[in-house]
A = this chain, B = another copy of it.
């Protein structure tokens, strides 16, 4: 474990860190983290999709050689759990992203550092293990975007993950009502300022004010030409967009509805996995983000087409409760929950999970003449 200190008591599973975080955080920060877009319908719906799906147990298989290992994009990994990009982690712990990076290295989890981090990407890299990716928000000015790319390359990040599902940030009512104050500054963007375009009279603040700064497929084409790093898109939910991404030469996709934080009427992330997997083919690298709380959830996401999963809120809760020690512990718990689920479902490896029976329980019943 990378950090001094003791593990919290009474943690029986990875999700138990939520309760500790509730105690550790200011209510406004906890509410901001918990809430999503609008009235949190998408947040709840992400969970409902997991709860609706059942895993059929299988028995008496020989699982002595079982493992959660995977190989993705040519790199071997001990388990399919990533720490997804979570913005401004100083909100949750004084050590911010440095703590998270140390935990990721300690437990073999992939780290995805956010553009919107409380410390610089170089500081994160210094604390992280070699398995680190950089999440990129395309900036209004291409030179700003390119600066981030070059710095990420220089700091040894192994892939770029472009978030494409947040052209505008819709305010979440839970966060607003709790009095959360935004305005956190990204350490990576110090020196770059991009004032919102001023729409002319009769123009729209959204379309003519904000959309000129939002990334388009043309930006992806441009970015593809700027770097040799593997390029991922995060936030794809529709199979047609997945196909377009493949055509654009992207190396991997993250199916995500941004944790329910963008479009309150969005379908669950989980429901988008099967059609996106079908669109990209069986072997294309595909990660999942949105609603993971326990090992059975990881199992379900993999069964429905993901190669691995990213954690958002789970990560922030553990960070808030116990820093690097908490994040590392949470991942170990989650991985073991996944292993137990695999054992009960008779799956010796992740490929077995992909073939497992995972579906909603439906009852049509039977008729008969009695």
Q: Across the interface, which residues of B come within 8 angstroms of A347, CB to CB?
A: 370
Q: Across the interface, which residues of B come within 8 angstroms of A244, CB to CB?
A: 60
Distance to closest chain B CB from A203 (angstroms) = 9
Whether A38 lies near B294 (C-beta < 8 A) is yes
Stretch at the interface among A139-147, A152-160, A265-273, A321-329: A265-273
Q: Across the interface, which residues of B come within 8 angstroms of A5, CB to CB?
A: none
Whether B59 lies near A236 (C-beta < 8 A) is yes
The number of chain A residues with a CB under 8 A from chain B is: 105
A333 to B108 alpha-carbon distance, docked (Å): 46
Most buried by B among A208, A233, A300: A208
Whether B363 lies near A358 (C-beta < 8 A) is no
Name the one of B206, B216, B299 contacting A336, with C-beta atoms under 8 angstroms.
Answer: B206
Copy tally for this chain in the complex stands at: 4
A4 to B275 alpha-carbon distance, docked (Å): 53
A304 to B365 alpha-carbon distance, docked (Å): 8
Whether A369 lies near B240 (C-beta < 8 A) is yes
Q: Across the interface, which residues of B come within 8 angstroms of A300, CB to CB?
A: 265
Whether A211 lies near B63 (C-beta < 8 A) is yes
Whether A57 lies near B339 (C-beta < 8 A) is no
**Does A150 have its Cβ within 8 Å of any Cβ on chain B?**
no
Whether B165 lies near A12 (C-beta < 8 A) is no
Q: Across the interface, which residues of B come within 8 angstroms of A337, CB to CB?
A: 170
Known: A358-B365, A363-B53. A205 touches B336 (CB 8 A): yes
Within 8 A of B (CB), among A207-263: 207-208, 210-212, 214-220, 233, 235-238, 240-241, 244, 257, 262-263
Q: Across the interface, which residues of B come within 8 angstroms of A352, CB to CB?
A: 370
Q: Across the interface, which residues of B come within 8 angstroms of A66, CB to CB?
A: 204, 206-208, 211
**Does A73 have its Cβ within 8 Å of any Cβ on chain B?**
no
Known: A57-B257, A358-B368. 19 other contacts (CB 8 A): A12-B176, A49-B361, A54-B265, A55-B263, A58-B237, A59-B237, A60-B164, A60-B220, A63-B167, A63-B207, A63-B211, A64-B211, A204-B339, A205-B336, A355-B368, A355-B370, A357-B366, A359-B364, A359-B367
- Please list 14 pairs of residues, one from A and one from B, whose beta carbons are closer than 8 Å in the complex, sorted by A's number: A57-B257, A58-B241, A59-B237, A62-B211, A64-B208, A168-B344, A170-B344, A204-B336, A262-B344, A263-B345, A271-B363, A357-B367, A359-B363, A359-B364
A residues contacting B by CB (< 8 A) are 12-13, 38, 41, 45, 49, 51-68, 78, 164-165, 167-168, 170-171, 173, 176-177, 202, 204-208, 210-212, 214-220, 233, 235-238, 240-241, 244, 257, 262-268, 271-272, 274, 294, 296, 299-300, 303-304, 336-337, 339-347, 352-370
